[in-house]
Chains A and B, each alone.
Chain A
């Protein structure tokens, strides 16, 4: 089982105690620490690793020397003036903390003498406003913030960012997520369409994958944007538009360009089309020179580091280069893959994020959590891992897990190669080679097999029970030797999985197939998945009509979930092809139709039975009644015709139905006393005859 609380440990530690820092200096920092607004790096906070911090503060952009696959960049600033408000950018440049709490953008202007600082920022803004803007950002015609909220919390945004304040978790109260990446004040920063454009095109602006690309439809991006912007109106209004930044004078623009060069902005930001500076060797000897200094200086980024962060960076710079075996691990931490995935006992959801992961609870935790990555390079084929990172269409096999794996195309090739290499297990026992296709087909099925299709889907066919993943194409993804190991002991890969050990102790429970030998049986299953045609034995043949309910001599009564009626529908099919549906909440008729009655298969035998429908297209709905009524059951006469009982505000009312030669006869009766029942409702579009007697009224439908 995945215990987030027990796996919170750093995977590499440094001997920080070896640093010789005077205690007065530490004391001074402690005091000044209260004023600090240090950059927040999730992977560093979680694993306390200077190498992660070095990578994620973008140090390598100027200094090189990070093993993380694809350096951390700032956002691409193309079309900034169309997407982001000028005032917000100005505030942000003045102090990144103003723009977003915990921003990793260094203070670039703090080293400039105060008298010039304001002008320098204005000039840079003037220059930024001149950047080419070819983008056409269009707003969606409608947005739905509520749907956006559901998507934001389901798709996995919450694994890195916290829940938005209005969110109610289906699992109860959420604990405050301290290590969440904060949001800016979206209303100050941008408008709904600008935010939607960003969310729909994340990889354009963040090609380094730190805010990873999630495949969203334009309307989905808009809905999430509306949610984050807290825009409850259904039509995003142009009045909130980010206005094009006002033009500045030529001198200011020119000076701004010079600042951009001087501050080396293009080292981190694309979209500036300025030349990057050559790499600078980092100073690794001292406890705080250069970028690590506690004081800003002109022409140098100032990070406002905490003392702990500074120590970690110094330790990292002093450390020996790690073996390349660790490079991939470092990338997993830097990219925050561990927010969702566990590998080798590290990472996976934490207590505060666990409840964001939702899916099919019928499958247990495997139905809602991202798969573990332990041994994944042995489990999956190299090309498949690469396609998962790249987000290739069809690479998503757990559609019941609501969290969406983002795309990481920039990292795909190298990370796939690393996983395959480091996890490779050449000594694994190979799967038995079996030619017999019939054995595999039988074993996968439920007629004397090991019942795989009870839980697993096969192509487009739903399984017979819980809906676990499609197993018809496992050969395209899995390494056969891993498949063998997994079938023999599923819990060794995923403790707590609902997948039972079907060959406990390596022994088969199906003695009469493939000689009752476990290895041969597993080989046969693999062979059928790979080379077989057709489907495993035991899927229902829905086309056979075997479960169509056909009233012959007597009416058939069946309760079910029915569209247009609800979860308490009671269907009655009469001989002579006339049928009704009663709403079992009120005891009133709801539908009437002629012809075929109903197919019982889903109601009888489907685990998650859908709401059914009559077998005919032409169905007449009864008028709606709001009179308070309470259903009390039904009684059958000797011919099986039902009389439905209900109480109308204390008055006992009954309705008897019978089918006679294609006509529907309905008699309402009520108890003695002064009270009259509610006005009868009738099917819209059906003619009828009426016959009233004392405390009874009879309607005959389809009489002509």
Chain B
């Protein structure tokens, strides 16, 4: 049962006309420095008169999980329930790309991790260990690694993972139910948890809505994204850990179930977020908010950049997949007062379909797995896999880091800045705002305030700019808008003129 396909790879550099690219996103991000190579994109038969919708010819590569198998082979899980092993994805020759089917018949697997020679994936009802005992390249063991959460039959009951944390524990996150059959009361919808030694899901923290992506930072701490919806005003990126509450109260019933590790006093609702956060000690803020539409509309995967400069000057930072806007955003984190907080930046846009999964290869390129199905995105194809290569000949000019200071922010740039443009009037504008904490679906930015900025101070090497400001507020998003800033050599404009810092704590002096 081994299939090989040769004809489906269509290496083709995507060409974005200016109009289309601009239309996709307010900020194009660092597009110039990165090239997109299509490995497989859903066929879009624009001349076809076919009335029959099919998932396109060939492999329906609705990417839902990726893991490296060694020797440059990429295992890709699909929402349909297959796991393909794709060889030749790093090659520039289209004919080198080969597909072979490793496993099939799974129930919408939404994660993939390699452990030893096995693959672990989370299906709707369980974490499954896929094992190739006879070594013929096809799985012959579909072993239940862990289960123990309710599966009602509601379509929205997606299960994600597993993802390994620094302590060596695997985590699984569970969506809230929605639609027919919904039952968020029987455990553990809206919870994240670890896999116990007994093969049972161990609930650890709750308040999630649609936690579709997890990933570790360089220190091994796990982060996950959630998506705008009830109780959640915009895409948050949270530090995943035990014993905390992430805000969505629809999962609160789980606390009454036997085995719940938590019983907390729920935070005050229908008040601004900072007030709600202060009303419950377990309620934690996101490390970073991705403001709605300005950065993204629905965050997905979390992937650490750890490429020794082979993916540009952003090592140690996180990339966040973006479903609706078919893009990738960048997150810089720092620890203040023992907790993570930081900034997000629009990064890549213009993918042909909604981005669900991200995976770096050891050699530097980023693999972007896509699937639109169920929702829509700015991409006009249904699914596919794109490789993103960094072009070192065109280094990005970007705000590399944005750090909080007791009296403002410090910006680090990837290239020296043109001093005059930085010191020009109106080069920086800073505004802060928060959201209402309520069960409403999404939410506006509220309590907006423009902050006064003193004359910026540029470091001697031109790489750092210090902003002293009046009016910092804890737990508020601080939106930095730049205007006219150029690089010292070449007069390049910033790839993304905006940055968004979530200031949960103001650092001490």
Contact = CB atoms under 8 A, between A and B. Distances in A.
A355 interface: yes
A450 B377 CA distance: 10
Interface string B221-265: 000000001100000000000000000011010000000000000
- Assign chain A's interface to a size class: 35 or more
B80 A604 contact: yes
Interface in B326-383: 372-376, 378, 380, 382
Contacts of B376: 451, 454-455, 465, 500
B143 A633 contact: yes
A633 B270 CA distance: 46
Contacts of A554: 1
B374 A567 contact: no
Given A540-B54, A546-B54, A559-B107, A608 B155 contact: yes
B382 A505 contact: no
Interface stretch (B27-35, B432-440, B477-485): B432-440
A354 interface: yes
A560 B107 CA distance: 6
B385 to A, nearest CB: 18
A466 B229 CA distance: 14
A351 B438 CA distance: 9
B455 interface: no
Contacts of A450: 380
A541 B48 CA distance: 15
B64 to A, nearest CB: 12
- Assign chain B's interface to a size class: 35 or more
Nearest to A453: B53
B154 to A, nearest CB: 8
A233 interface: no
Contacts of B444: 1, 3, 495
Contacts of A212: none
A546 B52 contact: yes
A535 interface: yes
Nearest to B249: A172
B144 interface: yes
Nearest to B129: A633
A399 interface: no
A8 interface: no
A251 interface: no
Contacts of B20: 509, 511
B81 A559 contact: yes
B266 to A, nearest CB: 8
B52 A509 contact: no
A633 B151 CA distance: 17
Interface in A597-614: 603-605, 607-609, 611
A608 B53 contact: no
Contact of A632 (B144, B375, B443): B144
Contacts of A540: 52-54
B53 A364 contact: no
Contacts of B266: 172-173
Interface stretch (B134-142, B397-405, B409-417): B134-142
A638 B134 CA distance: 9
A351 to B, nearest CB: 5
A554 B101 CA distance: 15
Which of B142, B269, B372: most chain A CB closer than 10 A? B142
B440 to A, nearest CB: 7
Interface stretch (B6-14, B120-128, B162-170): B120-128
B100 interface: no
Contacts of B173: none
Nearest to B375: A465
Contacts of B147: 631
Contacts of A510: 380
Contacts of A570: 105
B441 interface: yes
Contacts of A539: 51, 53
Contacts of B489: none
Contacts, number: 187
A451 B438 CA distance: 32
A631 B438 contact: no
Interface string A355-368: 10000111011001
B421 interface: no
Interface string A532-543: 000101111100
A568 interface: yes
Contact of A605 (B55, B133, B252): B55
A376 B46 CA distance: 37
B106 interface: yes
B103 to A, nearest CB: 10
A693 interface: no
A351 B439 CA distance: 9
B52 A544 contact: yes
B70 interface: no
Nearest to A496: B442
B179 A360 contact: yes
Nearest to B49: A537
Contact of A496 (B107, B378, B441): B441
Interface string A505-547: 1010111100000000000000000000001011111001010
A2 B155 CA distance: 27
Contacts of A351: 270, 438
Contacts of A559: 81, 105-107, 123-125
Contacts of B442: 1, 364-365, 496
Contacts of B270: 5, 175, 351
Contacts of A634: 141-143
Contact of A568 (B51, B151, B179, B436): B151
B390 to A, nearest CB: 27
A633 B128 contact: yes
Contact of A538 (B19, B53, B180): B53
B493 interface: no
Interface string A471-514: 00000000000000000000000011010100011010111100
A631 B151 CA distance: 15
Contact of B250 (A172, A365, A538, A640): A172
A59 interface: no
A128 interface: no
Contacts of B141: 633-636
Contacts of B58: none
B104 interface: yes
Contact of A362 (B45, B142, B179, B324): B179
A103 to B, nearest CB: 31
A558 B184 CA distance: 26
A584 interface: yes
B48 A447 contact: yes
A637 B129 CA distance: 17
A35 B80 CA distance: 68
A317 interface: no
A667 to B, nearest CB: 18
A171 interface: yes
Contacts of A1: 440, 442-444
Nearest to A1: B444
Interface of B: 1, 17, 19-20, 22-24, 44-46, 48, 50-55, 60, 80-81, 104-107, 123-126, 128-129, 133-134, 139-144, 147, 151-153, 155-156, 178-180, 182, 184, 229-230, 249-250, 252, 266, 269-270, 324, 372-376, 378, 380, 382, 436, 438-444
**Top 9 A-B pairs, shortest CB-CB distance:** A448-B46, A633-B143, A608-B155, A559-B107, A541-B52, A567-B151, A607-B374, A540-B53, A557-B105
Given A361-B229, A540-B53, A541-B51, 12 more contacts: A447-B46, A498-B375, A538-B53, A539-B53, A546-B52, A567-B125, A584-B125, A607-B155, A607-B374, A634-B143, A635-B143, A638-B134
27 contacts: A1-B440, A1-B443, A3-B444, A171-B249, A171-B439, A173-B266, A354-B438, A361-B178, A361-B229, A364-B442, A365-B440, A368-B441, A448-B45, A454-B372, A465-B372, A504-B24, A511-B17, A535-B51, A537-B50, A557-B142, A559-B107, A568-B126, A568-B151, A635-B133, A637-B140, A638-B134, A645-B143
